[in-house]
Amino acid sequence: MSKPLIGIVVGAILGAIDGLTAWFTPAVREHLGGIVIGSTLKGIIAGVAIGFFAKKFHSLPLGILFGLLVGALLAWLVAFMQGGYYFEIILPGTLVGLIVGFATQKYGRTTATANT
Amino acid sequence: MKWLSDDNLDHLRTIARNPDFSATKYTFVKELGHGGMGTVYLAEDRELDRLVAIKVLNTPEITEDLRNRMVREAQIIARLEHPGIVPVHDVGVLPDGRVFYAMKYVRGSRLDEYAAQHSSLRDRLRKFQAACDAVAFAHAHGVIHRDLKPQNIMIGSFGEVLVLDWGVAKITKKPTTDYTNESVQSVDGSNTSAGTVIGTRDYMSPEQARGEVSQLDERADVYSLGAVLHFLLKDQSRPGKAAQAICAKAMASARDDRYSTASELSADIGRLLDAEPVSAYRENVIEKVGRWVGKNRFLVLLVLAYLLMRIFFIFTSRR
């Protein structure tokens, strides 16, 4: 599996889990479908970005840092559009980015470069 | 008349016992070890200004067969150019007619001594795998060691692993690069007759112990490697089922049940080190999950941390 694909899969799964946890908040439960789709999309976008970064740069610390930043940025955008719950949205989003950053650096096929 | 003191007499005896390197470019330093066929000495190569290990035939009665055998041993080792096999630098004849060959002097400790100082299972398995690779290389060149044991595996001062003492090695097929005019066959230079037991009892395969010389193939070395692995595992409190299964497969009484080559054994050790499933052991689901979790410990911890945080937020938002 390629690194961007790993990023997409892990990002989508964690994004979906992230969205599903909204079920525990009765106030937003009726919008659960939209939240899950939005959260999954956010995870996929983060996964693609982090996956391509991992394909380009083979460094675990850099990958984790990049994942952390992308996760935090996307989560901040969501919180900003929602106009609240900054801490509750940014912290999990950042952690998701960190996990995707780690997973894409640690797993997945690296493209071999031919010596000419 | 002047009498010699005991000290002087001992000194003279020692000089008389040591090989005469005067006609060679080597200077005797000390004796390193004594084997059945030859004695290994530490000597200085005056031309290249370096220390070498020199193996010299023990017996003063040099037959043509013994001489050929020694030369053959040197040729076998010289043919095996591998980082895990001690390189031979030179071969020659001493003034008394005894054949000698000079090889790299390895500074370090034998595997049994090394294991006494290093208890880490992973470290031991890595060294063992390196020894398997050296033996696999010899097998690929048609050479069976026949006396593999911890005492014949050396760990160099930089962690390199070297397989020593190819004195009873057997040539099973014509090598890929033909350095000699010999035909396919030959056991340790001469022809070891059926019923002759060669090797070390605790580490030799059943067929080797029965003296079935013509039956010996790579799997005899696989058995010995299994016995070496058993030696490395025996003081481990939890060696793991997979490691024990590898050992049991390598040491199977029936040679058809063993790994067919040392490469296969090495590959299984590699899989064990990489926390991959090994061919010698069928895991159940719990063991598979346990191995996966052990291999991906950090990722599992991250996901757990994420889930815990999520649960924390769910409970705090409900209040």
B188 is catalytic: no
Distance from CA of A105 to the nearest CA of B (A): 11
Shortest CA distance to B125 belongs to which of B228, B218, B277?
B228
Packing angle of the helix pair B121-140, B262-273 (nearest 10 deg): 150
Residue B189 has pLDDT above 70, yes or no: no
Give the model's confidence band at B180: pLDDT under 50 very low, under 70 low, under 90 confident, else very high: very low
In A, which residues are within 8 Å of B313 by CB distance? 21, 88, 92
Residue in chain A nearest B302 by alpha carbon? A99
For B314, which of A24, A96, A103 is closest by C-beta distance?
A24
Take residue B158 and report the two structure tokens written for it.
Answer: 């930089």
Q: In this predicted model, what pLDDT tens digit does every residue of B15-30 receive, in sequence order?
A: 667 788 888 899 999 9
**Predicted-complex ipTM score:** 0.75
Q: Write the CATH number of the domain with boundaries B108-273.
A: 1.10.510.10
CA distance B15 to B307: 77
The mean pLDDT value of chain A amounts to: 87
CA distance A109 to A7: 12
Residue B194 has pLDDT above 60, yes or no: no
Predicted local distance difference test score (pLDDT) of residue B183: 31
Q: What is the mean pLDDT of residues B131-152?
A: 92
Shortest CA distance to B304 belongs to which of A93, A70, A99, A71?
A99
Q: Inspect the interface and report whether the beta carbons of A103 and B299 lie closer than 8 Å.
A: yes
Q: Inspect the interface and report whether the beta carbons of A106 and B306 lie closer than 8 Å.
A: no
pTM over 0.80: no
Residue in chain B nearest A92 by alpha carbon? B306
Strands B143-144 and B161-163: unpaired
Residue B190 has pLDDT above 80, yes or no: no
In A, which residues are within 8 Å of B309 by CB distance? 91-92, 95
Q: Tell me what percent of the residues of chain B surpass a pLDDT of 70.
A: 86
Q: Inspect the interface and report whether the beta carbons of B310 and A103 lie closer than 8 Å.
A: no
Residue in chain B nearest A103 by alpha carbon? B299
Distance from CA of B299 to the nearest CA of A (A): 7
Choose the catalytic residue: B45, B133, B147, B221.
B147
CA distance B60 to A116: 59
Tell which wins on pLDDT, A74 or A112. A74
- Eight-class DSSP state of B54: E
Residue in chain A nearest B311 by alpha carbon? A21
What DSSP line would sit under B218-257, residue for residue? HHHHHHHHHHHHHHHHTT-S---HHHHHHHHHHT-SSGGG
For B306, which of A24, A88, A96 is closest by C-beta distance?
A96
Give the model's confidence band at B318: pLDDT under 50 very low, under 70 low, under 90 confident, else very high: low
Predicted local distance difference test score (pLDDT) of residue B192: 53
Place of tokens 């084997």: B35
Predicted local distance difference test score (pLDDT) of residue B36: 67
Q: Tell me what percent of the residues of chain B surpass a pLDDT of 90.
A: 40
Its CATH architecture, for the domain B12-104, is 2-Layer Sandwich (3.30)
> Exposed, middle or buried: residue B68 (CB in 10 Å: 0-12, 13-18, 19+)?
middle
Take residue B167 and report the two structure tokens written for it.
Answer: 């004195």
For A99, which of B302, B313, B314 is closest by C-beta distance?
B302
Q: In this predicted model, what pLDDT tens digit does every residue of A69-89 receive, in sequence order?
A: 999 999 899 888 878 778 888
Take residue A90 and report the two structure tokens written for it.
Answer: 């940014």
3-class secondary-structure state, position B103? strand
Q: Inspect the interface and report whether the beta carbons of B310 and A102 lie closer than 8 Å.
A: no
In B, which residues are within 8 Å of A21 by CB distance? 310, 313-314
Say whether residue B297 is in contact with chain A using an 8 A CB cutoff: no
Q: Inspect the interface and report whether the beta carbons of B298 and A102 lie closer than 8 Å.
A: yes
Spatial CB neighbours of A58, under 8 Å, sequence gap ≥ 6: A105, A110
Q: What is the mean pLDDT of residues B53-61?
A: 80
Spatial CB neighbours of B134, under 8 Å, sequence gap ≥ 6: B82, B83, B84, B85, B161, B162, B163
CA distance B169 to B138: 10
The mean pLDDT value of chain B amounts to: 84
Taking the CB of residue A60, how many other CB atoms lie within 10 A of it? Answer: 13
Q: What is the mean pLDDT of residues B182-193?
A: 40
Take residue B261 and report the two structure tokens written for it.
Answer: 């080559």
Strands B99-104 and B50-57: antiparallel
In B, which residues are within 8 Å of A88 by CB distance? 313, 317
Q: Which residue, among B297, B299, B301, B316, would best test binding to A if mutated, counting the most A CBs under 10 Å from its CB?
A: B299
Q: Inspect the interface and report whether the beta carbons of B299 and A95 lie closer than 8 Å.
A: no
Q: In this predicted model, what pLDDT tens digit does every residue of B251-307 receive, in sequence order?
A: 999 989 999 999 999 999 999 999 899 999 999 999 999 998 988 888 888 888 888
Sheet containing B50-57, strands listed edge to edge, beginning at the edge strand earlier in sequence:
B26-34, B38-45, B50-57, B99-104, B88-93
